[in-house]
Amino acid sequence: MILAVDIGNTNIVVGFLEKTNIIASGRVATDRNKTSVDFLIQLKLMLSIYSIDINKLEGSILSSVVPELTNELEIAMEKLLSKKPFIIGPGLKTGLNIKIDNPKSLGADRVCDAVCLIEEYETPAIIIDMGTATTISVVDKNNNHIGGMIIPGIKTSLDSLSSHASQLPPISLEKPRNLIGKNTIDCMNSGIIYGNASMIDGLIDRIKEEIGDVKVIATGGLAKLVIPYSKHEITYDPDLLLKGLYYIYKKNS
């Protein structure tokens, strides 16, 4: 079993994996003020909550898009297991050929998503990862990551809308009752859900025009709210990133 940790801008996801089977997973809010001691306590608490025997953990791996927390989690994970974790970045074997202007600039989360995609799905394919940002990654038929898009995330856009428009309140994302809203909250909810679904449909169509037919995989906590409203066939895989961490761990162990 391995410990896999992903530091995102909004949440830190912790998973305990036996091969690609996720035995347990949890998430905590990304707090940039926490120290390695705080994270060590949280990891130990998770081991206790999920009844995971620490002696069954052979190692760990870490991905991060929050540089100021990477070292703190690395220290915590090393103290927990008395072994340095693998960290997604230059020098680590991923098996992914990244064909963009600066391969080192590709986010660790997108690397993990693409590695899992290649292992478990057909290519060419598109990965839609809907979190703090919505990212679209394109993997060609030769398993090369050839680029993509970065778009403001659903919650990010909604929070910005509420904070900049005095008469628009903060709302909770819910399944739209109708396409055409009859009140402010329904209009906002319909707009953000159907609007993002339509944007995704349009981008998929344009990518297909450029590279041909593709498989589409969606991941990220917010994707399950949007993809039911897409006109395309999209496979939802919430564990793409954690499984990608497992595959990369195995390539380096």
Torsion over CA: 188, 190, 193, 198 (sign): negative
102 burial (CB, 10 Å; 0-12 / 13-18 / 19+) is exposed
Of 6, 31, 53, 109, which is the active-site residue? 109
The set of residues, in sequence order, having a beta carbon less than 8 Å from that of 42 and lying 6+ positions away, is: 14, 28
**129 catalytically annotated:** no
Query: Residue 221 pairs with which residues in a beta bridge?
Result: none
DSSP 229: G
Contact 232, 204 (CB under 8 A): yes
In whole angstroms, what is the distance from residue 147 CA to residue 156 CA?
A: 23
Contact 214, 126 (CB under 8 A): yes
Residue 2 amino acid letter: I
Contact 216, 223 (CB under 8 A): no
In whole angstroms, what is the distance from residue 216 CA to residue 225 CA?
A: 16
What is the 3-state composition of the chain as percent helix, strand, coil, each rounded to the nearest 5? 40, 25, 35
Contact 85, 61 (CB under 8 A): yes
Q: Please provide residue 146's backbone torsions phi and psi, each rounded to the nearest 5 degrees.
A: -105, 5
The residues annotated with a catalytic role in the active site are: 109
